[in-house]
Structure 1
Amino acid sequence: MPTVSVVICAYTEDRWSTIVRGASSAVGGSLAPDELIVVIDHNRALFERAKRHFGDAATVVENSRRRGLSGARNTGVEVARGEIVAFLDDDAVADTSWLELLVAQYVDDTVVAVGGSARPAWPVSRPPMYPTPGSALDPTAGPGEFDWVVGCTYLGQPTSASEVRNLMGCNMSLRRTAIITAGGFGEELGRVGRIPLGGEETELCIRITAADPQARVIFEPSSAVRHEVAAARGTWGYFLRRCYAEGLSKASIARLQGATAALSTERDYVLRVLGRGALRELRAGRLQGAAAIVAGLGITGVGYVRGRLARGTGASAHRVFEPTAAQA
């Protein structure tokens, strides 16, 4: 059994109750990690509060790198002593078997990263811009086409353990040596505060497998977390901003790793999933759901084109770590 470090990155006291519940779920499941690390992203008041609350139960550190989620994750990797580093978002609560199911996949030495699923916990009910084949009023309804907008598993992802291109940041784990050898999370990518950019975990997974064609990234949907969705994310404004930001993020990845790698999964998603979803919503008379699929695809495309036209060479991802640090 490899040693495991769980890292939770946090930036705002607004999520304090979920941070506490998420940390409790991370250490109280069927497999306890060897250590829990809480990284605070440039918020001194939150850092002091976390230090007082967790005491010796967790290692609480401040982000020593560039402001943002990527820098915070790299700080966690640097501090971690485990062979496996598992990341849990600060607005997520893990199922009992979450960590055990992730770690079980590492029995295969070619597996370098394992991620799981995330279920949205809506504040009231599923908003109409997040359509699903199930009932919008059913909190247990299956994933929809655009659940990725709120950081959750979306329709079209594998329903059993499968090899994939990349993981979702809400629920993922990687071999520490693989992260460091690849250079770490690109700090020129990813979310800073409430700015809804992303893509750093996608770009890192692409970089890892490009350097080692034998390396495998596994999606294990049975390993699940509950991702709490703020009410502000259930609006058309947020939906469209997040889709636009996704397009910008994909453009950044394309500049770093090439369009083929950046869009390989997305092409299949558009061709196989979105068209069927729009037809399903129209046949059911759910016009807002159909409009969301069309608008979401369109605005994401606009963001991608805008990002590709932006200046900046993006020749290579910034290396945060040197490979020798993997032995630290």
Structure 2
Amino acid sequence: VIVATRERPGSLARALDSLLVQDHPDHEVIVVDNAPRTTDTRDLVTQEYAGRVRYVREDTPGLAVAHNTGAAAADGDVLAFTDDDVIADPHWLTALTAPFAADPGLGCVTGLILPARLSTPAQILLEAHGGFAKGFAPRLYDPAAPPADEPLFPFTAGSFGSGANMAFRAAALRKAGGFDPATGTGTPAKGGDDLYAFVAVLTAGFRLRYTPEALVWHHHRETWQDLRNQAYGYGAGLTAYLTATLVRCPRLLPALLARLPRGLAHARAMTASRGQTSGGGVPGEHGTHHHPWPRSLSRRERRGMLHGPLGYLAARTRGGKR
């Protein structure tokens, strides 16, 4: 289990406590301290969790770089990734890794992410419009049998899962080239590291399974400014990962161009201002529109989309090609 972190020892400790009570019989937890400014993370791991959690330092900033460093340090057949702002259900790791044993062609498994709390308007608004969850039904994505209800497949990577709850067969991730180090939080690209990896594994010929039995609870950002930053990062990460995919796998360009008209329509709909529907609703009810999505956040997402390719290229120029 690889957890990349930067200067958040309080939330990291909470996450580690949940990872150390997993019912999976054979696992190791690795913390990757990404571009640290202080010794707080190292002190926490090496003192409070000595002998139970392995500490690795990565000085180059960027979530994808940190994930690659953690993967290189690990020796397991399956590499699970989560974030420092989650609490993992005790059965999480068992549920997330079991599908690999049942399907030798499986390269990636993702799981369900639910909110740890809904105590601020920003948290409620995010969750009311879907949050990080991808539904409550399992699903298999197979490049040999593209899903009929997803005409943009495999470029709708956001529907496959999220980086706070994902696992890869180590051999599949290596064959796919790992995470693109010019993507992710901490780089000018702002995000897209998980989306890139999902598509890379699928285009390498492996299947991807979403399993809601693998559950983590995510601590959503609390303030309006956090939500503004998140909206911008989502937009940037989307187009950054698409740029990364084409730069690193140009043979996919014809397929992407064929899907471009529908893709643009999908992007416009995804970032549209969602108005209030008629009728009542429970505050924060999952997937409903009872809390209108502000136009300002839609504009932030679209500005992020414009930034994404430039941010990705800036990250590569700065040294993200490593």
Is this a same-fold pair by TM over 0.5? yes
Mapping of 1:101-116 within 5 angstroms?
Answer: 101-106=95-100, 107-116=102-111
What amino acid maps onto 2:180 in structure 1? G
CA deviations on 1:115-157 (whole Å, 9 max, x unpaired) are 11112223x624157437xxxxxxxxxx43252xxxx32xxx3
For structure 2, which runs of at least 5 residues remain unmatched after alignment?
142-156, 247-252, 284-288
Aligned match of 1:66? 60
* Segment of structure 1 superposing worse, 241-250 or 262-271: 262-271
CA offsets 1:11-55 (integer angstroms, 9 cap, x no match) = 11xx32332232232231221442111111132512133212221
User: In the alignment, which residue of structure 2 is the partner of 1:51?
Assistant: 46
Superposition pairs for residues 84-163 of structure 1, below 5 Å? 84-106=78-100, 107-122=102-117, 125-127=119-121, 130-131=124-125, 143-145=127-129, 147=131, 152-153=132-133, 157-163=134-140
Q: What does residue 136 of structure 1 align with? A: none
The letter for the 1-side match of 2:236 is L
Give the secondary-structure state (helix, strand or coil) at the position aligned to 1:206.
Answer: helix
Deviation at 1:270, TM superposition (A): 6.5
Q: Quote the residue 2:291 is aligned against.
A: 289
Q: Is the 8 A contact 2:189 2:240 kept in 1?
A: no
RMSD: 3.6
Q: Which amino acid aligns with 1:80?
A: A
- Contact residue 160 and residue 222 of structure 1 kept, 8 A: no
Contact kept in structure 2, 1:243 and 1:299, CA below 8 Å: yes
The 2-side partners of 1:221 and 1:244 are apart by: 27
Report the CA distance between 1:82 and its aligned residue. Answer: 0.4
Shift in CA distance, 297/270, structure 1 to aligned 2, threshold 3 Å:
same
Give 1:183's match in structure 2, choosing from 177, 185, 188. Answer: 177
Change (3 A) 1:196 1:97: farther
Kept in 2: contact 1:115–1:218 (CA 8 A): yes
Distance of aligned partners of 1:66 and 1:267 in 2 relative to their CA distance in 1, 3 Å threshold: farther
Provide Cα deviations, 1:171-230, integer angstroms capped at 9, x if missing partner.
11111112222222111111119x892110101111221122xx111111221111123x
Letter in 2 for 1:54: Y
Q: 2:229 aligns with which of 233, 241, 261?
A: 241
Given the superposition, is the C-alpha separation of residues 314 and 206 from structure 1 closer, same or farther in structure 2, using an over 3 Å criterion? farther
Residues 70, 270 of structure 1: CA spacing in aligned structure 2 closer, same or farther, 3 A cutoff? Answer: same
Aligned residue for 2:301? Answer: 300
Residues 272, 298 of structure 2: 8 Å contact kept? no
Q: What amino acid maps onto 1:9 in structure 2?
A: A
2:11 to 15, 18, 21: 18
Q: Indicate which of 206, 210, 224 corresponds to 1:219.
A: 210
Encode CA deviations 1:289-323: one digit per residue, 9 max, x unaligned. Answer: 3243x4433321232134457794999x9775xxx
Corresponding residue pairs, total? 285
**Counterparts of residues 265-284 of structure 1 (less than 5 Å):** 271=269, 278-280=275-277, 283-284=279-280
Question: Structure 1: which 5+ residue stretches go unaligned?
Answer: 1-5, 133-142, 321-328
Q: Give TM-score, length-normalised by structure 1.
A: 0.74
Maintained 8 Å contact 1:129/1:288:
no
Q: What is the CA deviation profile of residues 254-284 of structure 1, one whole-angstrom value per residue up to 9, with x for unaligned ones?
A: 222258399888965865x88796342x655
Q: Which amino acid aligns with 2:239?
A: A
> Among the aligned pairs, what percent are the same residue?
22
CA contact (8 A) 2:183 2:312 kept: no
2:171 equivalent to 1:171: no
1:197 aligns with 2:190: yes
The change in CA–CA distance for 1:171 and 1:238 in structure 2 (over 3 A counts) is same
Amino acid at match of 1:244: Y
| Selected match of 1:251 from 221, 224, 239 | 239
Q: CA 1:60–1:310 in structure 2 vs 1: closer, same or farther (change >3 Å)?
A: closer
Aligned amino acid, residue 300 of structure 2: I
